[in-house]
Copies of this chain bind each other. A is one copy, B any other.
Amino acid sequence: MRLARALRGGALAAGLVLVAPAAASATDGVALAHAYRERHAARILREYADLLRLPNVAANLADVRRVAETLRDRLAAHGAAAELLELDGAPPVVFGRLDAPGATRTLALYVHYDGQPADPAQWRTPPFEPVLLTAAREAGGVARPLPADGEPVDPEWRLYARSASDDKAPLGALFPALAALAEAGIAPTSNLVFFFEGEEEAGSPHLGESLDRYRDRIADVDTWLFLDGPVHASGRPQIAFGVRGVTGLELTVYGPARPLHSGHYGNWAPVPGRLLAELLASMYDPDGRVAVAGFYDDVAPLGAAERAALANLPADDEQLRHELGLAETEGGGAPLAERLLLPALTIQGLASANVGTLAQNVIPATASANLGIRLVQGNDPAKMQDLVEAHIRSRGFHIVRDEPDLATRRAHAKLVRVARATGYPAARTAMDLPIATRIAAAARAAGAASGLGEPVLLPGMGGSLPLYLFSERLGQPCLIVPVANHDNNQHAPNENLRLANLWYAIDLYGALLTMP
C-alpha cells in the first residue's frame, strides 16, 4: 500500500527518497520481509484466509472471475498497473506491471489462482472455509481460531483449504513481501510483471492464445519465475529447472447394455471390470515399468550440469517411503528424482458401479479408468497418447470416441471409449545460466532466514506446468520456485499449507525482489 502510493508519485512529491535498487542486497530484502512478517503475522494470515474463502474451481467462470477481480485490486493497491487480460470463454489473466526506477531486468512472476475440483463429501472440513490446525491433522493437529494481532504464531500450524498450497500460497506471501519493501521505502531491483493464470488446473487451454494475444505486455521479460508447487520432501527449499508435461486418457470399457443381476447372468455376461483390469494390467511390468511399446523411446538425454545436480540431491527416498508407508517403490527402488526424468502412466481413478455399503449384486454396464500421462523432454503429448492407444488395440480392443450404440456393441467383444485429454510437452532450462545462480543465492538466504535450510537444485520436477509456452515459444527461460510444504495434500482432499512455508515464501520473495 505504501509502495503503491510512493510509486504513483505522491510520496516522491512529499519528499520521501526511494533507495536506489543497486543499494539493496538479497540479504536486505530477506531481513526486511522477515521482520515485516514477524510483526504482522496475524494480519497476513487473516488476509490470506480471506483469499482462500473465494471458490476457485476453473470450471466455474463466475467464481474464478471473482478471484481475478480481487487479485487485480490487490495488485493495484500495491502500486502495480493492474488489469484483466480477457479471452472469450476463459478465466481472465490477472496482469500487473510494477516498473522499478533504473532496473535493467524484467522478472515475471507466474501464479495460478484457480484450484483443483474439491468434493466437499471427501473433505474433513468444507474446502472453501479455511481452518487453522495446530499441526497436520495426521499428527494430531486440532482446530484453533486464527490468531489475534500480536498473539504468537507457531510455524508448525497449518491452514486447511482448497488451494492453500496450490496455488494461492504464493499470493498469500507476495503481497506481504511487496508491503515489506514499501514500508521500508525500498524499490525492487527488477521491473516486475505479475501474470496470474486462472485455468492451470484445467490444463491451461487458453494460455498459449493469451500469450500470443498479449505478447506486447511480456515482450521484455528476461526470466519467468513460476511460483507453484511444493518444496523438497526433506523440507528444504527447492528450485527446479524443468517440469514434466502432461496429458492423459479416460477409458470406458463396455459390458452389457444395462446393468444385469449378477446371479441371473454371472458367468455368462462379460464383466467390464474384468476386461478393464486385464487391459490395465497389460500396460505394466511387475515393477511398475510401463510396458506400452515405445513409451520410453523419445526421452532426451541429460547434460553434465543436470547429472551433477542429480548426484548432489539429498538421499531422502528412504525417509519418504517411511512417511508414506511404502515397503517398496516402482522401478526397483530407483531414486525419485531419477524416476521423474522419465514419462509416467498412472491409473489416477477407477470406477465401475459401487463398492462398500453401496455395492450391489450387479454386472455393471461399464468400467472406467482415468490414466494420467506425464511427459519429459523429448515426448510429444499426442504421440504418447497414440502409443497407449496402439497398445489398447494390440490387446484386441476396438476404440470409439463417443458412447457406442447397440450395433457397435454387438460388433465388438472388446470395446473401449477413449477420451484424450488435452495436454502439453515438458520444458527444461539449463542449470548454468547466470540468473540461475542469483536465484539460487536468494533461495539460500531465505532458506537460512526461515530455517528451511539449504535449497535443493532439481534438474526436473515431477509436476507439470505449461512452461514450454515460455521457454520454447517465447525463448524466455523459466525456473520453478516453489514454496509449499511437500505434504500439503495438493490435488487431494484436505489440502493445507504449513505456516513455516508461508514464512519462507515471504522471506524468499523479499530476497528475489531485491536480488542484484
Contacts and interface: CB of A to CB of B under 8 A. Distances in A.
Given A355-B369, A413-B327, A349 B342 contact: no
Contact of A370 (B323, B354, B413): B354
Interface stretch (A15-23, A188-196, A270-278, A436-444): A270-278
Interface in A338-370: 339-340, 342-344, 346-364, 367-370
A80 interface: no
A34 B413 CA distance: 44
Interface string A95-138: 00000000000000000000011010000000000000000001
Q: For chain A, give the interface size range.
A: 35 or more
A406 interface: yes
A250 B372 contact: no
A314 interface: no
A349 B344 CA distance: 26
A205 interface: no
A464 interface: yes
B339 A268 contact: yes
Number of copies: 2
A83 to B, nearest CB: 31
A409 interface: yes
Interface in A259-281: 259-271, 273-274, 276-278, 280-281
A475 interface: no
Contacts of A330: 267-271
A258 interface: yes
Contacts of A487: 258
A355 B327 contact: no
Interface stretch (A40-48, A62-70, A489-497): A489-497
Q: Which of A261, A280, A330, A358 gathers most chain B CB within 10 Å? A: A261
23 contacts: A116-B361, A119-B354, A250-B355, A250-B356, A257-B326, A259-B489, A264-B461, A266-B372, A267-B340, A268-B462, A270-B328, A274-B280, A278-B284, A325-B409, A327-B409, A328-B413, A349-B354, A350-B351, A351-B355, A355-B369, A360-B492, A361-B372, A362-B492
Interface of A: 59, 116-117, 119, 138, 229-230, 243-244, 246, 250, 254, 256-271, 273-274, 276-278, 280-282, 284, 286, 288, 321-331, 334, 336, 339-340, 342-344, 346-364, 367-370, 372, 374, 406, 409-413, 415, 461-464, 486-487, 489-493
